[in-house]
Amino acid sequence: MTGIGTAPAIRPMRAAECDAVIALWHACGLVVPWNDPAADIALALSKPCSTVLVAEEEGGIAASVMVGHDGHRGWLYYLAVAPMRQRRGLGRAMVSAAEAWLAEAGPPKVQLMVRATNTMVLAFYETLGYAPSPVTVMQKWLRDPSA
């Protein structure tokens, strides 16, 4: 439930909405210099194992979540709710829609990454049943992120 009114219309993003979704991600502080959000969207929309879901409210993009899987693990990325629409259940609705998309796709679990210092977001996911995983995430850059 998203407060007053009916549940939001959650659906796959249309390619023409790329700029609106990127603007939402900027407004939510999700864009970092080493990730190109347009390239991330293009990749997600080009594969059958991933998509970007959006919620429309009042004629605009109010929320988004990128969702995908590798066959074994589902992943959530870029969960964003417009700052003026936060704390009304829209984030919960987006996670639920992403989980439903993954359940239909088949992977047995879903994962996400949150910086340990982002305590508000960690608490949000904990209310949805997510728990820390006893793993260490390691990375290696295949391209120079400053290029």
CA-wise closest residue to 84 among 65, 63, 64: 63
Residue with tokens 């259940």: 89
Distances (CA, A) of 105 to 75, 98, 109, 138: 12, 11, 11, 26
Dihedral sign (CA 47, 50, 55, 60): negative
Class of the 9-127 domain? alpha beta
Q: Length of the chain in residues, anyone?
A: 147
Tens-digit pLDDT string for the chain (147 aa):
344 556 678 999 999 999 999 999 999 999 988 889 999 999 999 999 999 999 998 888 999 999 999 999 999 999 999 999 999 999 999 999 999 999 999 999 999 998 888 899 999 999 999 999 999 888 898 888 776
Cα–Cα distance measured from residue 103 to residue 100, given in angstroms and rounded to the nearest whole number = 5
* Residue 5: per-residue pLDDT: 54
* Residue 109 structure tokens: 């679990």
**97 touches 59 (CB < 8 A):** no
Residue with tokens 């728990």: 131
- The residues pairing with 76 across neighbouring beta strands, listed in sequence order, are 67
- Taking the whole predicted model, whether its pTM rises above 0.85 is answered as yes
* Residue 6: per-residue pLDDT: 62
Beginning with the edge strand found earlier in the chain, give each strand of the sheet holding 60-69 in spatial order. Answer: 9-12, 50-57, 60-69, 73-81, 109-111
Cα–Cα distance measured from residue 38 to residue 52, given in angstroms and rounded to the nearest whole number = 12
Q: Mention every residue, 6+ apart, whose C-beta is less than 8 A from residue 39.
A: none
